[in-house]
Amino acid sequence: MLAANSREHVDCVSRVVRNAERLPQAPVPSLIFDSWRRSMEQHHLDPGSLQGPRILTEPLLKECRERAELFMRIASEQVSQLHHRVRHADYCVMLTDAQGQTIDHRVDAAIRSDCRKAGLYLGTCWSEAEEGTCGVATVLTSQAAVTVHKRDHFRAAFINLTCSAAPIFDPQGNLLGVMDASALQSPDDRRSQHLVRQMVAQSAQAIENAFFMHSAARHWVLQAHSTPGYVDSQPDLLLAWDQEGRLQALNSKARQALRRRFGQVPVHIGEVFDLDALRAVTDQSVQQLQWLGETGVLHVRVNTPRRQPARALPHAQVDPRVEEHLRLAVRVKDRNLPVLVQGETGAGKEVFARQLHARSARRDGPFVAVNCAAIPENLIESELFGYVAGAFTGASSKGMTGLLQQAHGGTLFLDEIGDMPLALQTRLLRVMAEGEVAPLGAAKTQAVDIQVICASHRDLAALVNDGRFREDLYFRLGCARVTLPPLRERTDKLGLINRLLEQEARSCAITVGIGQAALEALLGYAWPGNVRQLRHVLAYACAVCEGGTIQLTDLPVEVRGERVEVEVEHSASPERQVLLDALVRHRWKPLPAAQALGISRATLYRRVKQLGIDMPGKHP
Ligand SMILES: Nc1ncnc2c1ncn2[C@@H]1O[C@H](COP(=O)(O)OP(=O)(O)OP(=O)(O)O)[C@@H](O)[C@H]1O
């Protein structure tokens, strides 16, 4: 039975949402009203519910905290400081991740138990879809600092709470989490919360800036404020750019300022400031700088990279996204769940799968790689499941152990899983569910203990829609989906170039370096064939360069940025595309590509030449 004030609240929410068009003015700010409406019409929540928020189980909370480990570490000091400033007014402080799950909190012992009852506790989930309008959820949807005051809350369970919260963004503009200060009691006038909201927003910005400085240590960083005295202690704007001047990171105020001034976020620092004027700014003192083409003056300091650029650390630097994917995938794999790796062809899916195996608990077991696209369809079944002697005409007299059995105790890597025939998908699903394999012609099944990593450069969801891939298998395999970034988007390009060059040079038994112009061309090229193409280009350059340095002229013309003279009819020909697709899918191996196309190897070579296809490793 609802108490009178709860019933009154439920009536008010229902009346306002249902009669919005007829009311001269909503009794709550429009942000809150929009959220009430979504809570009721989109999320179908009951405003009369008195239940507290959902609480994560212990293992799930642990996982969320581990995932946000760096964010929490950087934020921790500010969470404590904010709590110190508001605790005497009986506020507790919570930090949530980008899903609204509370991963850190501070509360005084005197109100801990009441806060816990009200849901202000570690592990509580505050998404709009589950809890309706509340402080954290409103920040998640509006991405701005807000106060959700008492009866602004959607559910009657929360109408005594007052929450002021603010978003925290990473240097790429993605939401990292939400900082929140909540009280169990507060004055009825919502204006009483103005100061607390300001404090929460300030703390959120301090965390954002600290996270920014941590992430941008390898770049040039400009810190700016309209008042010189605040440039170092509380910079408003933070911008970071790399050796080539490309903007790599912005704090949210800088992102907003650039959008306001230039209509969008520019790509290069030279679009934001005059480069000569910028070069004159040092890290020795705060100086004045003007926006490009504008009169407004900023007080700025420019810091040179605090960490050495990748050139000096080719081995240590790995793209943070790839490293993070790897870290999470190891955890998933060690729980015996499959991992699905997606990414463009040549992006390094197999390399990733091998690294994953090497870091997992099964590192001492076998790693068996199967390219489903490279095995002819009529052989896949026997290759995977094996067969007993005399199972079919032409079978070896000794029988054959299937790849699944070979992977027993280790990892089975199914590359190009999208090419697996439907009938085999069904059998694979059964193996994964039952942990048993039946070789062809065998009367008994064999137990197998395998972990599966799959990879595909195709859009598996689209294959499912087309009925070419089993939906249940897609969901089973894709417990954890990792999408590797294409080479053009990787931030460790320089490190990769150095590493691959070292390997190629070693295999040719030479010592080789790269000239500046060649390096710039390698860094600036879009790499449609990803790391595989980079490796081929470097192998070629190692082979042709003279004097121990790769020059621009040692690179293929398309990488140099020169126009490739391919006859239009060639480049646009559908046959050329079909040939290219087959070659790429079969890793440029002529025989399997020819077999897949149903032509002879000689015909394939002839058409490749006629259509002007440049086979890797066959540069003139
Ligand atoms: N991180 C890396 N370090 C060194 N070499 C790499 C890396 N990633 C990929 N490569 C190289 O790039 C090539 C392609 O890698 P890989 O086969 O793993 O890509 P893929 O995305 O699985 O390709 P496909 O889409 O054809 O299956 C290989 O020669 C591999 O050695």
Q: Which ranges in 174-319 belong to alpha helices (H)? A: 194-215, 252-262, 275-279
The Cα-based distances of 415 to 129, 201, 379, 475, 536 in angstroms read: 37, 47, 16, 17, 21
Tell which one of 349, 351, 581, 587 to mutate to probe ligand 1, the residue whose CB is within 8 A of the most ligand atoms: 351
| Span of 64-78, 440-454, 468-482, 570-584 with lowest mean pLDDT | 570-584
Rounded CA-CA distance 162/200 in Å is: 13
Q: Fold for domain 320-483?
A: Rossmann fold (3.40.50)
CA 534 to ligand 1 center in whole angstroms: 10
> Could you report the per-residue pLDDT of 430-457, keeping only the tens digit for each?
888 888 888 888 788 888 999 999 999 8
Q: Among 173-187, 494-508, 514-528, which is the least confidently predicted range? A: 494-508
> pLDDT higher for 407 or 308?
407
Name the band, by pLDDT with cuts 50, 70 and 90, for residue 392: low
Task: Give the pLDDT band of residue 597 (cuts 50, 70, 90).
Answer: confident
For the segment 207-255, what is each residue's pLDDT rounded down to a tens digit? 999 889 877 877 899 999 989 888 888 899 999 998 888 999 999 999 9
Q: Which residues contact 496 (CB under 8 A, 6 or more apart)?
A: 487, 490, 531, 534
**Backbone φ, ψ for residue 240 (5° rounding):** -130, 140
Contacts 24+ apart (CB under 8 A), 590-596: 592/374, 595/376, 596/373
* Half-sphere CA count of 296, side-chain side, radius 13 A: 13
Mean pLDDT for 488-500 is 87
Mean pLDDT of 374-384: 76
Residue 309's pLDDT is 36
Taking the centre of ligand 1 as the mean of its atom positions, its distance from the CA of residue 423, in whole angstroms, is: 29
Give 347 Cα–ligand 1 centroid separation in angstroms.
Answer: 6
**How many Å apart are CA 79 and CA 207, to the nearest integer?**
9
Atom of ligand 1 nearest to the CA of 349: 22
Closest Cα to atom 29, ligand 1: which residue?
Answer: 532
Residue 367: φ, ψ to 5°: -120, 110
- Please, are residues 486 and 371 in contact by the beta-carbon 8 Å criterion? no
The region of weakest confidence among 73-82, 109-118, 417-426, 570-579 is: 570-579
* Structure confidence at residue 384 (pLDDT): 85
C-alpha 354 to ligand 1 mean position (Å): 10
Nearest CA to ligand 1 atom 24: 345
Burial of 437 (0-12, 13-18, 19+ CB in 10 A): buried
Token pair listed for 310: 């990748």
Distance CA 155, CA 10 (A): 8
Q: Which residue has the tokens 């509340």?
A: 134
pLDDT band, residue 144 (cuts 50/70/90):
very high
pLDDT at residue 564, rounded to an integer: 43
- Beta-bridge partners for 387: 400, 440
Question: How close is the Cα of 352 to the center of ligand 1, in Å?
Answer: 8
CA of 512 to the centre of ligand 1 (A): 22
Name every residue whose Cβ is closer than 8 Å to that of residue 290 and which is 6 or more positions away in sequence: 273, 274, 277, 296, 297, 298
Which DSSP helix (H) or strand (E) runs through 565?
none
- Condensed to tens digits (0 to 9), the pLDDT of residues 42-64 reads 999 999 988 889 998 888 888 88
Residue 476 burial (CB count, 10 A): 17
pLDDT value for 310: 31
User: Which pLDDT band, with edges at 50, 70 and 90, does 308 fall under?
Assistant: very low
What is the maximum span of the chain, computed from C-alpha positions, in angstroms? 88
List the residue whose alpha carbon is closest to atom 3 of ligand 1: 496
pLDDT of 318 above 70: no
Nearest-angstrom CA–CA distance, 527 and 521: 11
The residues, ordered by sequence, that sit 6+ positions from 567 with a Cβ below 8 Å of its Cβ are 612
- CATH number listed for the domain at residues 32-199: 3.30.450.40
In the predicted structure, residue 515 carries a pLDDT above the cut 90: no
Q: Ligand 1 test: best mutation among 530, 532, 535, most atoms within 8 Å of CB?
A: 532
Q: What is the CATH number of domain 487-560?
A: 1.10.8.60
Q: Give the lowest-confidence range in 87-96, 151-160, 557-566.
A: 557-566
Q: Is the pLDDT of residue 312 over 60?
A: no
CA atoms within 13 A of residue 360's CA, in its CB half-sphere: 30
> Which of 131-145, 346-360, 415-429, 575-589 has the lowest average pLDDT?
575-589
Residues in the chain, total: 620
Nearest CA to ligand 1 atom 27: 345
Centroid of ligand 1 to alpha carbon of 613 (angstroms): 21
Q: What's the gap in Å between 345 CA and the centre of ligand 1?
A: 8
Ligand 1 atom with least separation from CA of 347: 21
pLDDT of res. 316: 37
Mean pLDDT, the chain, integer: 85
- Of the candidates 504, 525, 618, the one whose C-alpha atom is nearest the C-alpha of residue 244 is 525
Number of the ligand 1 atom closest to the C-alpha atom of 352? 18
Specify whether the CB–CB gap between 297 and 289 falls below 8 A: yes
- Domain boundaries along the sequence of the chain: 32-199, 216-307, 320-483, 487-560, 568-610
DSSP line for 109-132: HHHHHHHHHHT-STTBB--HHHH-
d(C-alpha 101, C-alpha 125), whole Å: 4
Greater confidence (146 vs 545) lies with 146
Label residue 573 by pLDDT band (50, 70, 90): low
| 495 close to 533: Cβ distance less than 8 angstroms | no
Residue 458: predicted pLDDT: 86
3 state SS of 385: helix
Residues with CB under 6 A from ligand 1: 343, 345-351, 415, 455, 457, 500, 531-532, 535, 587
Q: How far apart are alpha carbons 352 and 357 in whole angstroms? A: 9
> Which residue owns the Cα nearest ligand 1 atom 28?
532
pLDDT, tens digit, for every residue of 5-40?
Answer: 888 899 989 988 888 777 667 678 889 999 999 999
Distance (angstroms) between ligand 1 centre and the Cα of 415 equals 12
The answer to whether 209 touches 250, Cβ cutoff 8 Å, is no
More confident residue, 323 or 563: 323
Q: How many CB atoms lie within 10 A of CB 175?
A: 16
